[in-house]
């Protein structure tokens, strides 16, 4: 889907939801069931995702762990958002890569230290965009997409966030 098509799709959605705000309200559901050991089968309608833990945490490593899936979800959401917002702002992004690194101290989730946060303490995004657009316009798109990201909004504001952005010209 090219930038023009994405921009047209957004405009259709904007018009429809502006006229009928009730259409914007929705719900989403997933159901996780243990299958064997700590492995879970997660159903999202007709789609199925597996999740497991590594042997060092009692699992069998038969699938990505919940943290892996959360980082993957964040990276995918951000990459998609940058391309969509780029299209909405009239920028064609040839490629987008988002590296997601988290820093945490397992003592928090294991209840070993009351002064250690449970979960992620820092979230680092390494964003790489290939485009002919000027870097300052790409930066504006990234900042806008980050500000309106539902995935980022669902995370605790106590998690420090660090973004790096590299903009390069397409190879061809």
What pLDDT is stored for residue 1 in this prediction? 76
Average pLDDT value for residue range 15-34: 92
CA gap 145, 88 in Å, rounded: 11
Read off the pTM: 0.88
What pLDDT is stored for residue 160 in this prediction? 95
Backbone angles phi, psi at 47, to 5 degrees: -90, 145
CA gap 49, 14 in Å, rounded: 31
Helix axes 135-147, 66-88, angle to 10 degrees: 120
Q: Which CATH architecture is the domain 65-172 placed in?
A: 2-Layer Sandwich (3.30)
Read off the tokens for 51: 């999740």
What pLDDT is stored for residue 112 in this prediction? 93
What pLDDT is stored for residue 6 in this prediction? 87
Question: Tens digit of pLDDT for each residue in 144-161?
Answer: 999 999 999 999 999 999
């Amino acid at each position: 889907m090219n930038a023009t098509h994405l921009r047209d799709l957004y405009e259709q959605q904007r018009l429809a939801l502006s006229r009928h705000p009730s259409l914007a309200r929705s719900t989403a559901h997933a159901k996780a069931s243990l299958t064997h050991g700590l492995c879970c089968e997660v159903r999202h309608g007709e789609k199925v995702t597996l999740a497991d833990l590594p042997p060092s945490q009692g699992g069998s490593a038969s699938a990505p762990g919940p943290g892996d899936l959360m980082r993957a979800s964040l990276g995918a959401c951000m990459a998609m958002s940058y391309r969509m917002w780029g299209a909405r702002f009239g920028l064609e992004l040839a490629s987008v890569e988002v590296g997601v690194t988290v820093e945490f101290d397992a003592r928090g989730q294991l209840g070993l230290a009351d002064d250690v946060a449970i979960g992620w303490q820092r979230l680092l995004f390494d964003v790489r965009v290939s485009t002919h657009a000027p870097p300052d316009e790409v930066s504006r798109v990234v900042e806008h997409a980050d500000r309106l990201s539902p995935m980022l909004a669902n995370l605790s504001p106590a998690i420090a966030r660090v973004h790096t952005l590299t903009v390069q010209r397409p190879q061809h």
